[in-house]
Amino acid sequence: MSSHEVFEPAFEVIQKIEEAGGEAYIVGGAVRDYLSGRPVNDIDIATSEKPERIQEIFEKVIPVGIEHGTVIVRHRSVSYEVTTYRVEEGYEDYRHPDEVTFVQDITLDLARRDFTINAIAMSRDGRLIDPYHGHDAIRNKRIEAVGEPSERFHEDPLRMMRAVRFASQLSFKIEERTEEALNHLSPLLQHISIERIAVEMEKIFGGSNYALGLQLLQSTGLKNHLPILKDLDIHRNVPYSLILGWHEIIAFYVLQYPHLTAENFMKSWKLSKDTKKKTEQLLHAYRKYENEKNVTAWLIYQLEEELFPSFSRLVSALHRVDKISGEVLTEAKKQLPIHNKRELTFQARDLLQLFTDLPKGPWISEWMDKIEYHVVTEEIENDYEKIKEWVREWNPPARN
Ligand code: ATP
Ligand code: MG
């Protein structure tokens, strides 16, 4: 087994809690990913101590969810979610437990967790507390509920999406009884808010075994409760994982199914403004590419570099060509004469100086757009005098 190096700073946090008389363990996804040889991202810590006590022990503590027992401890510039051992009761509304009760025993805390692979705690010396044999489940690549699967899915139906999500990310098989419960209980998903479902859905699409994830959505019936996707043949034509998120997913389907609109997707999945902006940009670039059968300088100029990988994946998926790699686009972007309006040597004030008799109006931005376009496409050099010359040759803008 590889070393615990990635956990060292987290162990220091644990040590501080122990020195103050408490108990603490690394729990959840970090332990799971570590034991399965995957890169460890966020490290969560469970502790016997109440949030108020954690606030006393550490200097930098951000109270993010005190009523649920969670605070963020900053240590060596890294954030750790530190949560008091707790059990949850109620779940009357299928959403949140009615009551959170703090407890003193880590094994009780592990019992409330969704799957055995996520219910392992690791102590500061690397010892595992693994009452549900989650380590075996990881070795056998198996996703199984902690306790009675149907009970656990009744408590929180989102767990069904999470099971599929872990299958997609880890390429694990869902254990038989857990899968059976999933098949029976998938309609319960309708009680879950679309925002929570969207988080898991994005991770399913981004998993290295997305094919398995999408197939499970179908076979379990969960798909029937997913807006828009429920009417599509979702796993046909997905030739790669849609890694970068919703904008890529939406563009992918909208381009293949002409009756779909990005707008509808955004609305029914309640996605963010940021996703909307990225989706529109990506679709705009793609359609331009389709029309011109070419990646023009103007397209590269308009498309944010962050979206290059999505763009190149879309092109290879829908055109079955591989020639437009993200790197090629990045290189082409570097070669552009300018990268934004501010880099133009000729600005709006220069334009106004040239036409002092004209009142301010929309013509200014129209002309600036024109200058920008012609500089980007290298029809005119980005040189003050040259642009000035060139603008002079135009007909004076209409007066209004
Ligand atoms: P990721 O690497 O994607 O963050 P994760 O396993 O850490 O995966 P989180 O959503 O961050 O997932 O949750 C952290 C831990 O909290 C899980 O490993 C699990 O033990 C527990 N958990 C999260 N959501 C639920 C849930 N709906 N029901 C029961 N336990 C949950
Ligand atoms: Mg996590």
Is 168:210 a contact under the CB 8 Å cutoff?
yes
- Please tell me the predicted confidence (pLDDT) of residue 327: 83
The structure tokens 């069904």 sit at 160
pLDDT at 90 over 90: no
C-beta of 44 in contact with ligand 1 (< 6 A) = yes
For the chain, give the percent of residues with pLDDT over 70.
93
Nearby residues of 358 by Cβ (< 8 Å), 6 or more positions away: 352, 396, 397, 399
pLDDT tier for residue 188 given thresholds of 50, 70 and 90? very high
- Mean pLDDT, rounded, for 75-104: 84
> In whole angstroms, what is the distance from residue 112 CA to residue 249 CA?
33
Look at 236 and 356; give whichever has higher pLDDT. 356
The structure tokens 């879309």 sit at 314
C-beta of 41 in contact with ligand 1 (< 6 A) = yes
What burial letters (b/e) apply to 152-188, b meaning 16+ CB within 10 Å? bbebbbbbbbbbbbbbbbbebbbbeebbebbeebbeb
Identity of residue 35: L
- Mean pLDDT, rounded, for 132-154: 98
Please, which residues have CB less than 5 A from ligand 2, an ion?
Answer: 29, 42
Is 12:75 a contact under the CB 8 Å cutoff?
yes
Nearby residues of 303 by Cβ (< 8 Å), 6 or more positions away: 281, 282, 285, 311, 329
Q: What is the CA(43)–ligand 2 centre distance, in A?
A: 7
pLDDT at 259 over 80: yes
Q: What is the CA(297)–ligand 2 centre distance, in A?
A: 41
- Please tell me the predicted confidence (pLDDT) of residue 236: 73
Percent composition of the chain: helix, strand, coil (DSSP 3-state, to 5): 55, 10, 35
191-to-13, 154, 185, 253, 300 alpha-carbon distances in Å: 38, 10, 11, 26, 43
**Span of 31-40, 71-80, 96-105, 232-241 with lowest mean pLDDT:** 232-241
Nearest to 70 by CA among 92, 44, 35, 99: 44
Q: What is the mean pLDDT of the chain?
A: 92
- Please tell me the predicted confidence (pLDDT) of residue 100: 86
C-beta of 279 in contact with ligand 1 (< 6 A) = no
C-beta of 201 in contact with ligand 1 (< 6 A) = no
* Ligand 1 atom with least separation from CA of 203: 3
Mutate to test the pocket of ligand 1, among 64, 110, 113, 166 (most ligand atoms within 8 A of CB): 113
- Please tell me the predicted confidence (pLDDT) of residue 321: 66
> In whole angstroms, what is the distance from residue 208 CA to residue 129 CA?
29
Q: What is the CA(101)–ligand 1 centre distance, in A?
A: 18
> In whole angstroms, what is the distance from residue 277 CA to residue 114 CA?
34
- Please tell me the predicted confidence (pLDDT) of residue 399: 47
Please report, in angstroms and rounded to a whole number, the separation of the first and last CA atoms in the chain.
Answer: 76
C-beta of 118 in contact with ligand 1 (< 6 A) = yes
C-beta of 248 in contact with ligand 1 (< 6 A) = no
pLDDT digits (tens, 9 = 90+) for 287-330: 999 888 888 999 999 999 999 999 988 888 887 666 788 888 89
Ligand 1, atom 3, lies closest to the CA of 29
Write down all domains in the chain, each with its CATH number in brackets. Answer: 1-139 (3.30.460.10), 141-238 (1.10.110.30), 240-336 (1.20.58), 341-394 (1.10.246.80)
Identify the nearest ligand to the CA of 32 by its number.
Answer: 1
Query: pTM for the complete prediction?
Result: 0.88
- Please tell me the predicted confidence (pLDDT) of residue 1: 45
Mutate to test the pocket of ligand 1, among 118, 143, 156, 164 (most ligand atoms within 8 A of CB): 118
